[in-house]
Chain A
Amino acid sequence: MAQRELLSGLPVDWQKLKTMYYYMVLSRKLDERMWILNRQGKASFVISCQGQEGAQVGVALAMDPSVDWITPYYRDLAVVLVFGMTPREVMLGFLAKRDDPSSGGRQMPAHYGHRAKHIMTGSSPVTTQVAHAAGLALTMKLRGLPGIAASFLGEGSTSQGEFHESLNFAAVHKLPLIVVVENNGYAISVPQIHQMAVVNVADKASGYGIPGVVVQGSDPLAVYEATMAARERALRGEGPTLIEAKTYRYTPHSSDDDDKTYRSRGELMREKADDPIVVFRNWLMTQKQWDDQQENTLLKKVREVVDDATDYAEQAPYPDPSTLMDHVYYSPRA
């Protein structure tokens, strides 16, 4: 990560940076726990955020969950945690339990949604959520509501028509929208070079007459800075911004994938040298803002949170089979 002498110009203080670090570590540890539970046979599916936490906290902490809305994608564990979804809630969804706020155990894990926390429910067909974010932003504009919408997706999703349609729509109507592409280099097995003929996804922004910004995902502060600027632009009524965060995925696409079939261990090792959590921790330490004792305290706290979430969700009830037919259509709640 680039050396930063000052934090001037940005509304951040060291406490906020430590919060960033907390959410990065919490996300990683929660994610790692999910893999363990999967390998123990307690959960049939995992899809990971590992490697992308820097980009995710950088964007999410630059937003205001009290007025902003997000349409995340399935890797956005750190984003939804920052927006207020609790580790217990995440684990309820992961283990398909009744009280999972995203779906009551109906969806696969990581298909987040939480109305009260302004997290729009998502599906598996990719990129539909970008149009939803544009629609959320359209309401904000037409109703004069405070806030913006942000949509998250991978670089593979930028090949979909809805990426183009939604950005174009949002640009024409100058909607308060940020589209965040977490470019981790692969759409399952297909590398970026087979996905698009541009080096930077952000270059596509010029086709819509909007700014496209490239940031290093391992540098949450740079992501934060870019998001702040995009958010201010959106709030000024100047329209959307496309942010591309260069990241890397440390896990296979999902627990059902074997990434050894399409990428080398050497490449993975090289990329892990830029682990956002390690880089950020080292930087905090060189800035004399972090030390081993604080690290150990944090890890202990995170461990407790993850243990608690796991225990809570494991003991939680499954949905009752009699609810299978519920919520096909609206019915007034009892």
Chain B
Amino acid sequence: MAVMSYLEAIRETLRQELRRDSRIIIYGEDVGVRGGVFRVTEGLQKEFGEDRVIDSPLAEAAIVGTAIGAAINGLRPIPEIQFADFIFPAINQIVEEAARIRYRSNGEFGVPLVIRAPFGGGVHGALYHSQSVEAFFAHVPGLKVVIPGTPYDAKGLLASAVEDEDPVLYFEHKAAYRSLKGEVPEERYLIPIGKADLKRSGKDVSIITYGLMVSYALKAAETLEKEGISVEILDLRSIRPLDVEMILDTARKTGKVLVVHEDNLTGGVGGEISALIAEHALFDLDAPIRRLAGPDVPAMPYSPPLEHAFMITSDKITEAARDLAKF
């Protein structure tokens, strides 16, 4: 089995999907000749031509808005928003249109669309190249939001997103692109959207997280294991819909839950997870639910000490989980 980076897994999945289904088109800023600013789409225009891998004007609302029209008329567009931070000009098209079209047309129209966007910090990207924007979209019925945490999941989730009949936001962590490597099968496989994955089994503390934080949490779990603390890690993979069953299962199993995400604390996905556990599994808990999340500042600063202070690290996760285990 080939070992691939997170980025290569995404690229090879795009290639496989483009080969499989002639209705798929990719477009966005710099995705063609340049192969994307992160090189995710490198070589795809050469292989599939300018009609399937299209450099679009620098206009996010048009990228998503035209993708909606193209999807309605039978294509399966995979538009790319160059940075998740730049998705906001398209939010009208994503939230008011793509998310609501099936509902508002009483099921007559659907929008099979995958919007890919690199997100997240720790790459010296400052305020406007570091944001985590998933909570905005996780709030919206009609959308699906997936965030892979491994190369293997990146492939299976992307293939599922492409097959989905509804709009899917597929967020890729920039710091994961080249730092995460793993085995990825050659053949096509699907990871169901809405299914979480137990990345590590444990008995003392549950860490519920997603995206890049999964690898940080795994590292923290190794450290804590040496201290005799057994950590369970639930990788959500999809943050809309959430896998409520697995969230409650792990909460009930360990009785101590730490929710981790890089996105801001207030109004983040962690709040929803905490509420679900509080509603359905409160009396199985042995400690208050704890959230470790990005601080409530408008966005990530540039200067290294400030950026580091913002970022969630393995050390911060280790410390929070240790604290919780001792409760």
A interface vs B, CB < 8 Å?
69, 71, 100-104, 106-107, 111, 113-115, 120-121, 123, 125, 128, 130-140, 142-143, 145, 149, 161-162, 165-166, 168-169, 172-173, 326-330, 333
Contacts and interface: CB of A to CB of B under 8 A. Distances in A.
B69 A165 contact: no
Among B70, B100, B141, B164, max chain A CB count under 10 A is at: B70
Interface string B61-96: 110111111111111010000000000010011001
B157 interface: no
A114 to B, nearest CB: 8
B68 A131 contact: yes
A168 B59 contact: yes
B105 A131 contact: no
Nearest to A166: B62
Nearest to B105: A121
Interface of B: 25, 51-52, 54, 56-57, 59, 61-62, 64-75, 77, 89, 92-93, 96-97, 100-110, 141-142, 144, 164-166
A115 to B, nearest CB: 5
Residue among B69, B101, B110 with max Cβ neighbours from chain A (10 Å): B69
Given A123-B97, A142-B25, A329-B102, A131 B108 contact: no
Given A125-B92, A131-B69, A138-B70, A328 B102 contact: yes
A130 B93 CA distance: 11
B104 A132 contact: no
B62 A162 contact: yes
A113 B109 contact: yes
B61 A135 contact: no
A134 B104 CA distance: 21
B66 A134 contact: yes
Given A135-B72, A169-B57, A172-B57, A106 B62 contact: no
A131 B93 contact: yes
Nearest to B22: A143
A166 B90 CA distance: 12
12 contacts: A69-B73, A114-B108, A125-B96, A128-B92, A130-B65, A131-B64, A132-B66, A135-B67, A136-B72, A138-B66, A327-B107, A329-B165
B62 A136 contact: no
What 9 pairs between A and B have smallest CB-CB spacing?
A135-B69, A131-B65, A104-B106, A330-B165, A165-B62, A139-B73, A135-B66, A132-B69, A327-B107
B109 A139 contact: no
Contacts of B107: 104, 326-327, 333
Contacts of B104: 103, 106-107, 111, 113, 121, 123
Contacts of A169: 56-57, 59, 62, 66
A168 B62 contact: yes
Nearest to B52: A142
Contacts, number: 145
Given A125-B96, A329-B166, A115 B109 contact: yes
B75 A103 contact: no
Given A69-B73, A139-B74, A328 B62 contact: no
A133 to B, nearest CB: 6
A143 B108 contact: no
A134 B164 CA distance: 23
Name the residue among A102, A114, A328 with the largest chain B CB count within 10 angstroms: A328
Contacts of B142: 328-329
Nearest to B75: A139
Contacts of A106: 103-104, 106
A145 B101 CA distance: 23
A135 B70 contact: yes
Contacts of A125: 92, 96
B75 A143 contact: yes
Contacts of A165: 57, 59, 61-62, 65
A65 B75 CA distance: 20
A131 B61 contact: yes
B69 A134 contact: yes
A101 B106 CA distance: 8
A284 to B, nearest CB: 37
B105 A102 contact: yes
Contacts of A123: 96-97, 100, 104
Nearest to A106: B104
B78 to A, nearest CB: 13
A123 B102 CA distance: 12
Contacts of A138: 66, 69-70, 75
Nearest to B77: A135
Contacts of A140: 73
Nearest to A122: B104
Contacts of A102: 105
Contact of B61 (A100, A104, A161, A327): A161
Contacts of B166: 329-330
